[in-house]
């Protein structure tokens, strides 16, 4: 218990000096230990080295600053990463995905006081999410694209609210797509791609899955056709929940994927392929008596 009290004190000190920086030697001295003894104590309790934790925490604060529209190079220098590229490499090594992917899909809030028990749970793999890992064949998506920019739009993990945010009349295009491709399995798929990490611009595809040969012949000139890439995916299913709470459930799922599951999973986000959200009958309130859920597909590779 006494050792945990010391580590909790250390976590608070690190946060209080996150931008100015603190060395393992300085931290150990403030906690009343030699550098070697304290480093062993820290890794023994948390499951990660002291420097790895300090770097991880810097990256979390840096990501928040970037989400507040600060320039990446300025943030990188602020937290002692010499270059934009160096910051991105460190982020991907730590979390398994680039900061640009997080910015689009998850709400980044200012880091709160680190809870030691939560840290131990995350590092030890105590994850409350159990996605299905599967090899997938390509899915053909046909729909309409629009170009947007962060932070002028809200987050894409909440698709119904996102449509409203950009004033998209999604009812008419979806009705048109479903009426046209009426021989294919009923589903809607949304994809964000062509992400510019410097400007925050990205392309948003709202479409439907097309799997019938006769439907392929009906694609019209103003429609965009995309095939998801073949490969390994983690499939997450949001909780089956009443429609009024669905938005928060989707948001929470995206955050848990990036904050907890990916960093501890042994997998990395495969940037050569796109993630996507998949909506079928389960997203219709009439299907499950007012209860809804969707699936989120994350392209992954072994670290």
pLDDT at 274: 94
pLDDT at 229: 95
> Which pair of tokens denotes residue 210?
């097309």
Task: Give domain 2-95's CATH superfamily.
Answer: Homeodomain-like (1.10.10.60)
Q: Do domains 2-95 and 132-302 have the same CATH topology?
A: no
pLDDT at 155: 45
pLDDT at 169: 65
CA dist list (Å): 196 to 88, 99, 295: 14, 11, 25
Q: Where are the domains of the chain?
A: 2-95, 132-302
**How many CB atoms lie under 10 A from the CB of residue 229?**
15
Are the CB atoms for 96 and 302 separated by under 8 Å? no
pLDDT at 67: 76
Instruction: Give the residue from 303, 253, 252 showing the smallest Cα distance to 96.
Output: 303
Each residue's pLDDT expressed in tens, for the chain with a length of 303 residues:
678 899 999 999 999 999 888 888 999 999 999 999 999 999 999 888 999 999 999 998 988 888 777 888 888 889 988 888 899 999 999 889 988 888 777 777 788 888 787 777 666 555 456 899 999 999 999 999 988 776 654 444 444 445 445 455 677 888 999 999 999 999 999 998 888 877 778 888 999 999 999 999 999 999 999 999 999 999 999 888 888 888 788 888 888 898 888 888 889 999 999 999 999 988 877 777 788 899 999 999 998
CA dist list (Å): 126 to 90, 107, 109, 123, 263: 23, 22, 22, 7, 12
Say which CATH topology domain 132-302 has.
Multidrug-efflux Transporter 1 Regulator Bmrr; Chain A (3.20.80)
At residue 207, what are phi and psi to the nearest 5 degrees?
-150, -175
Instruction: Give the residue from 152, 176, 153, 150 showing the smallest Cα distance to 163.
Output: 153
């Amino acid at each position: 218990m006494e050792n945990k009290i010391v580590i909790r004190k250390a976590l608070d000190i690190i946060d209080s000096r996150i931008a100015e920086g603190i060395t393992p030697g300085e931290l150990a001295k403030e906690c009343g230990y030699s550098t070697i003894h304290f480093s062993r104590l820290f890794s023994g309790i948390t499951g990660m080295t002291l420097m790895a934790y300090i770097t991880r925490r810097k990256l979390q604060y840096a990501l928040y600053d970037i989400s507040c529209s600060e320039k990446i190079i300025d943030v990188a220098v602020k937290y002692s990463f010499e270059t934009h590229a160096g910051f991105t490499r460190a982020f991907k090594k730590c979390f398994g995905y680039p900061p640009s992917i997080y910015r689009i899909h998850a709400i980044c809030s200012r880091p709160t006081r680190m809870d030691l028990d939560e840290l131990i749970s995350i590092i030890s793999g105590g994850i409350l999410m159990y996605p299905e890992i599967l090899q997938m064949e390509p899915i053909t998506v046909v729909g309409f694209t629009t170009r947007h920019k962060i932070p002028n739009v809200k987050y894409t993990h909440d698709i119904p609210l996102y449509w409203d945010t950009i004033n998209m009349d999604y009812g008419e295009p979806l009705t048109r797509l479903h009426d046209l491709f009426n021989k294919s399995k009923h589903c809607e798929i949304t994809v964000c791609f062509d992400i510019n990490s410097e400007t925050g611009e990205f392309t948003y595809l709202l479409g439907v899955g097309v799997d019938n040969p006769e439907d392929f012949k009906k694609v019209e000139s103003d429609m965009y056709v995309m095939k998801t890439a073949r490969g390994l995916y983690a499939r997450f299913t949001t909780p089956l929940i009443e429609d009024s709470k669905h938005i928060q459930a989707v948001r929470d799922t995206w955050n848990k994927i990036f904050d907890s599951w990916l960093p501890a999973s042994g997998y990395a986000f495969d940037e050569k392929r796109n993630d996507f959200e998949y909506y079928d009958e389960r997203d219709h309130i009439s299907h499950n008596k007012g209860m809804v859920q969707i699936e989120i597909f994350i392209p992954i590779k072994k670290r």
